Structure 1
Amino acid sequence: MKKILLIDDSDTYTWCLQKYLQHRGYPVKTACTLKEARAAIQEEMPLVVCCNLDLPDGSGMDFLNEVRAADKELPFILASCHDKDDYEQEAMRRGATLCMDKMKGLLLQDKLVEYAYRQLSGEPDSTFHKLLFVHAEDTSAGALQAAMLQKGLDLILVSSIGEAKCRIFEDEEIDLILCDLELPDGTAMELFHTLRRVAGMFQMKNPPVRLLPFFILTENNDLATEYEYRHEGVNDYITAPVNIPELIRRVLFFVE
């Protein structure tokens, strides 16, 4: 399998990205300089390129020119600490796929997974949806994540209400929320009502958080509880054991 190429002179930064991507099943090649990056693409064209704007022996913008001379379609992300207004227009003119703030590491991870998935699917315009899964334990979360990605559903895993709030209000591309009923710092319904209340107060858009489909996953199969939660606005109530194909079918009904 082709590799995702990460180019940055910070070993710590590329190590964190590499570990995440490898955990998601994608092989990774790293380079600290343009010289190393050139050697990597001469050996094999990568699946996706993520390159810092400033490198010890040159500019990521120059490397973008070299890559575009060899391949017009390869996803190329420029990641930098610089204000995007200072370079984005020129980068897009030269053929960059995306420019991102490298300090927004979680969002960058998601984009790398998205573009890698599109490349491997063989359909660059294939549908890709990002879902947030707020889970109490990760025993089955990894298996669920892998199964759903095969259908173009990228499951982002967080393990607390606090993490979920930060991610939801930072990320405009989340299409749906899956949430275990009981969590270490509260319940799914507490998160549900908080999102609806905060979104309404600040009239949040892109997407409107208060309208994000919200699924609860639980071992409680009491019909009265399900009716109560649905009456309050929860979109679906999934009881254990989770039937993954059925869950995927229900998710697709809301996001497509």
Structure 2
Amino acid sequence: MTGIKDAKCVLVVGATAGIGRALALAIHDLDNNPTVIVAGRRQDRLDELAKRRERIQTARVDINTTHDKLKQFVGGVLSEHPNLDAVILSSGIQHIFDFKKPETIDFNKIDDEFNTNYVAVLKLIVLFLPHFLKLSAEGRPSFIIPITSGLAIQPKADVPNYCATKAALHSLDLSLRAQLADTQVRVIEILPPLVESELHDHQGMTPRLSKVWMPLDEFTKQVMEGLVRGDPQVTAGFASKVLEKYEKDKRESVEEAFKNK
């Protein structure tokens, strides 16, 4: 099966910390020696990553921006890296909302969360697709790899909007994979459980969550095994259990229904 081991040039959006950063380093170290482009808001962290590996290059972007700026970003990446054949979409933010105190809910945070976790990711996929479909017509595989969450399937009630954004992206992945099934564009969804990261630092929850989350190194190892195999859905820990419990055969049924429409 075609997997990330077959990619020549991989863009990781949201590579300044956590899962994105770990995957960028792990993919760089694969035997196929891919070029890895790390993208994110914090240039100092991108530069630090580039110093750690010889084939890492940087591209600064804040995906919570306008359509035109996203289009400029994609155009710039493809101009500098016409061999790009994989995109990992790892950017994400998470906020706590208490619906018993509706006066405390910040609509700007809701907008930022939904745009960063879903709308901008959808736009980036659409903007990269013409390039990937061109590769497909040439017989070359490519990879769209969004990172959702086990919370897309079983929500955590204190982060309701985050769960909704990941559920939207999870649903999009199922449809996208079905529509692209007869092309060489591979859609691989990563569904993490609670993983060691900076995602919760601003919530003050890190000390408590650090007692129960999956260590980042362990998660990265399991995910890389799935990416190398080319599994359509790559999970670990809690996310594996909820995917099996609530969505067994769902991906196949979506693909079959689209095929027979």
Which interval holds the TM-score relative to the shorter structure? 0.3 to 0.5
> Which is greater in Rg?
1
Name the one with the larger helix percent: 2
Q: TM-score, normalised by structure 2?
A: 0.37
Tell which has more relative contact order, 1 or 2 (C-alpha 8 A, sep 6+). Answer: 2
Name the one with the larger strand percent: 1
Q: TM-score, normalised by structure 1?
A: 0.38
